[in-house]
Structure 1
Amino acid sequence: MPLCTSCRCLLRRALRPRQHFLSTSSKPSPAEMLSKPTWSVRSLRHPPPTTTAAAPAATEKITSSQLHHLLRLAALPLPQTPSEENTMISTLQDQLHFVRAVQRVDTTGVEPLRAIQDETEEARRENTITLADMQGLLDAEEHVGHYQRPRRVRTRIEDESSEKWDVVGTAGRKAGKYFVVESRKT
């Protein structure tokens, strides 16, 4: 026998593991959080010496055949000398170390950006279009018909720079004020 929606919700709630959020200490202040660094740029750019058994798997050695394969995929020239190849491998390993460090960051509970822009409340207020901003455009509308539907009055923009542009100036062949296009019938 199928369960009704409310019974199904109650059953889900009863079976869901409960998390108790008992906090004996208060939240640390921003000054306390910023007083102790948790990472450095140097640790992100250069891998620390391997101390654990799991570290060698994360810093696997890139072979010259892998480097050559990546360079061919990217349509880049192969290294001319072994020293140039070693430099490329070292740079690639540093970049992979940085990418892995970024991937290890815990992003649970972080809301993704909708766009790369300032999302503070002040910026939202500044970018919000209000009725006062639109009032000039609304006043320029004319009302048409029995139901007085608003219609925008189209005005021609007079711009001197567009009038001075010689449209057919770059044409190879001209006939008066027109340019000539040669075509053949097939």
Structure 2
Amino acid sequence: QLLSTPTWSIRTLLPSTEEPPSQASSSPNKTTGEQEEDRINLAHLLRLSALPQPASAQETSRMLATLRAQLKFVRDIQQVNTEGVAPLHSIRDETAEGRREATIDLSTPQIQEALAREEQYGRWKRPRRRKSGGSNGDALIVKEQEQEGWDVLGSAAKKVGRYFVVRS
């Protein structure tokens, strides 16, 4: 029964649609000094964010109305009771399934594949990638051979022996 009737609406977070945005900024309850202060603050915010200043008074009033609507939305969101709700460490899936997906362990296929391409080397058994091996190992060898065959000095305008000549 609790979910059968809504307890609030998203429309309460948005400004009322009764008055158009151009009239909202020049509301009668604001004095001329307060309106001028709003315009100065808007100009300051635009400078801080490297945005162009409004070209006309109408554009200024539209920007002020938008800014007021955004500030009202933020204030309403800040009013939400969050007692007992643990804060998010980051925006990601923090459910048990999400954590299981993000966990990397030795049973992960990519890890097993990478470990299969390694061999133990030396007294302390340091891991080293094999030079030859499975399908991925062959691809690595071909890639290395292509890199070794590349003529580094091929595009140089002037060269002396194994070096580029640079005019200063």
TM bucket normalised to smaller = 0.5 to 0.7
Are the counterparts in 1 of residues 117 and 130 from structure 2 also a CA contact under 8 Å? no
Structure of greater relative contact order (alpha carbons < 8 Å, 6+ residues apart): 2
Tell me, in whole angstroms, the C-alpha distance in 2 between the residues paired with 1:113 and 1:166: 52
Q: Counterpart of 1:119?
A: 94
1:141 aligns with 2:118: yes
Aligned length: 139
Cα distance in 2 for residues equivalent to 1:167 and 1:93: 60
1:167 Cα offset (Å): 7.3
Q: Distance in 2 between matches of 1:182 and 1:83?
A: 59
Partner of 1:21: none
Structure 1 residue 46 corresponds to structure 2 residue 21: no
1:75 and 2:50 matched = yes
Shift of 1:90: 0.5
Deviation, structure 1 residue 95: 0.5
Distance between the aligned counterparts of 1:175 and 1:33, measured in 2? 81
Residue 23 of structure 2 corresponds to which residue in structure 1?
none
Amino acid at match of 2:65: S
Which residue number corresponds to residue 128 of structure 2? 152
Tell me the distance in 1 between the aligned counterparts of 2:153 and 2:14. Answer: 56
Please provide the CA RMSD for this pair: 3.8
Take 1:181 and 1:105, find their aligned partners in 2: how far apart are those partners?
A: 66
**Is residue 174 of structure 1 aligned with residue 157 of structure 2?**
yes
The answer to which structure has the higher helix fraction is 2
TM-score using structure 1 length: 0.56
Unaligned runs of 5+ in 2: 19-28, 132-136
Contact 1:47 1:97 in 2 (8 A): no
| TM-score (normalizing by structure 2) | 0.61
Q: 1:103 maps to which residue?
A: 78
Deviates more, 1:108-117 or 1:79-88: 108-117
1:111 aligned partner, one-letter code: A
Moved more, 119-128 or 61-70: 61-70
- 5+ residue gaps in structure 1? 1-31, 50-55
2:60 to 67, 75, 85: 85
Structure 1 residues 113, 143: CA separation in 2 closer, same or farther (over 3 Å shift)? same
Q: Structure 1, residues 126-158: CA drift from partner, whole Å, max 9, x if none?
A: 232232223333343323445x62422254734
Question: Which amino acid in the other structure matches residue 82 of structure 2?
Answer: T
The 1:167–1:67 alpha-carbon spacing in structure 2 relative to 1, beyond 3 Å, is: farther
